[in-house]
Amino acid sequence: MDDTVRKRSVTIAGHRTSFSLEDAFWQELVGIAQKRDITMAELVVEIDSERDGNLSSALRLFILRDLQNRLAGLDEDNDDLPSDDDLSEKS
């Protein structure tokens, strides 16, 4: 996994804005936009409108929450996966 941080730019409300993301986060963001059938700019605007702090951090946190929600959905869909309680009992 490439951990190189790259500067990216999008237009928000008619103004170009830049943020820095590692390639792995960028690829997840691209996938989220594709899955939702929206442009990258539209997704960044959505995240930007709800953020506290800087845009790069807000994007990473959004991606983390999306991944957590997808994993939680897998847990609900698959009864064979151990629950958090099962994991803590084995510790």
Q: Taking a C-beta distance cutoff of 8 angstroms, is the pair 24, 1 a contact?
A: yes
Q: Taking a C-beta distance cutoff of 8 angstroms, is the pair 68, 61 a contact?
A: no
Number of CB atoms found within 10 A of residue 58's CB: 18
> Greater confidence, 60 or 90?
60
Q: Under DSSP, is residue 43 helix (H, G, I), strand (E, B) or coil?
A: helix
pLDDT, one tens digit per residue, over 4-62 is 899 999 988 889 999 999 999 999 999 999 999 999 999 999 999 999 889 999 999 99
Q: Is the pTM of this model over 0.95?
A: no
Dmax (CA) of the chain: 54
Q: Taking a C-beta distance cutoff of 8 angstroms, is the pair 25, 63 a contact?
A: yes
Q: Taking a C-beta distance cutoff of 8 angstroms, is the pair 17, 10 a contact?
A: yes
Residue 90 is predicted with a pLDDT of 46
